[in-house]
Amino acid sequence: MQQISRRGALGLGLGAAAAAGLVSCGGPGSKPPSPSGGDHRPAGNPKSPSTEGKPLGDGSTAYTGRQPNQPPAPVPLEPGEIPPQFVVFSWDGAGEIGNGLFPRFLKLAEEHEAKMTFFLSGLYLLPESKKRLYRPPNNPVGASDIGYLKDENIKRTLKYVRQAWLDGHEIGTHFNGHFCAGSGSVANWTGAQWKDEIRQAKSFVQEWRTNTGWTDLPALPFDYDKELVGGRTPCLLGQDKLLPVARELGWRYDASSPGGRQRWPVKKQGVWDLPLQAMPFPGHSFEVLSMDYNILANQSQNSTKAPPANYPRWRRQATEAYLAGFKRAYETNRAPFFVGNHFEEWNGGIYMDAVEAVIKEIADKKDVRLVSFRQFVDWLDVQKPEVLAQLQGLDVGQEFPRSTRKAS
């Protein structure tokens, strides 16, 4: 059995986390820097599609046709054929806070023909002056544990979310207020409360024009009712109550499981369960979850601004951890590799550097497919049940039988 670091076992549930002294993304005692900071560079002009499409609602979004820049339609594997190595890089919050990380990784993705999933926090499109429009379950009106963006950063976020979709990436949801502790934690929410949180998250995306009063910015070029097919909960809490709601809403996957292993996924309550995964952690006997914050928690004990002398060593360790997780899957059971990130410059930006280095290292390898979660479940859904069952039966690090054929 693999041992997962206690500091890295993100989101095991509020009671267990408190008892064990665990940490989690944005959790108690480890609140990330406020997203309202940043520079004051102009947002610039977003990419324009060939047509503005059909406005939806107040014109905040528009139907512009099928999403461009998608991979070829997936096909079923032949019996005994080894699958591609899927890798999904995902981003929690997906707000541009003025540090240039959103455009940095859009450019990197374009250079390496990678697609990603951006889990947009609905509040990142709601001005702080309108925060009382948000009514979070079990929390005061307008409350948010991640704050609100400055207006210029909302404009930047709109720009890059728009570009991301046109580039072929997926726009999922990270919900809204990111509550991880106390009685208001998402761990305690009922199904009805999750449904209301989702309704609000969608409304902030679909009604940003009304809420901001901005009429000179182009619409987001997608119908969010159809685009939204999955999400990741704050601190990986609350999945059990969320899943029935996700299934009712027609969601195809959920990425909120509090930690998985590098095996082929299965459905949970009718929804594909795509968890962050335990991966090797160089220099340690335990494993760490495949997210930047979990590596940070083990390196600097929740501090996001540790002494810079540590950064070179920690950057190498983070890079090597991701590469070790990738290599273990790539050379054995070809289980998909899921990586979670935040657009933050924690510990001097070393985790962003690590992700960039990994993308550059693996993108051109044979059979590797850098895809979004949505594109990955597109592939899963066309596979024959008996083929999936064979894949799901492979344990971590278990190689395919010698009689199997390599992927083309």
Do residues 1 and 62 make contact, with C-beta atoms less than 8 angstroms apart?
Answer: no
User: d(Cα 182, Cα 170) in Å, to the nearest integer?
Assistant: 32
Short-list 217, 269, 281, 272, CA closest to 9: 281
Q: Which amino acid, residue 308?
A: P
Q: Check whether 10 has a pLDDT greater than 50.
A: no
117 phi/psi in degrees, rounded to 5: -115, 130
Q: What is the pLDDT of residue 32?
A: 42
Query: How far, in Å, are 305, 306, 312, 350 from residue 309 at the CA level?
Result: 11, 9, 7, 12
Q: So what's the pLDDT on residue 237?
A: 97
Alpha-carbon gap, residue 86 to 35, rounded angstroms: 31
Average pLDDT, the chain: 89
DSSP notation for 234-280: GGG--HHHHHHHHHHTT--EE---S-B-SS---EETTEEE---BEEE
Backbone torsion region of residue 317, taken as left when φ is above 0, otherwise alpha when ψ lies between -120 and 50, otherwise beta:
alpha
Query: pLDDT value at position 43?
Result: 36
pLDDT of residue 117 exceeding 80, the answer is yes
Confidence of residue 2 (pLDDT cuts 50, 70, 90): very low
Q: Band of the pLDDT at 297, cuts 50, 70, 90?
A: very high
Q: What is the pTM of this model?
A: 0.89
pLDDT at 26: 42
35, pLDDT greater than 80 = no
**CA nearest to 270, candidates 296, 302, 246:** 246
**316-355 residue pLDDT tens:** 999 999 999 999 999 999 999 999 999 999 999 999 999 9
Tokens standing for residue 286: 């335990």
How far apart are the C-alpha atoms of 11 and 260, rounded to whole Å? 12
Average pLDDT over residues 157-161: 98
Q: Residues 189-214: pLDDT tens digits?
A: 999 999 999 999 999 999 999 999 99
What local confidence, expressed as pLDDT, does residue 33 receive? Answer: 37
Predicted local distance difference test score (pLDDT) of residue 259: 80
Average pLDDT over residues 273-281: 98
CATH superfamily, with its number, for domain 14-392: Glycoside hydrolase/deacetylase (3.20.20.370)
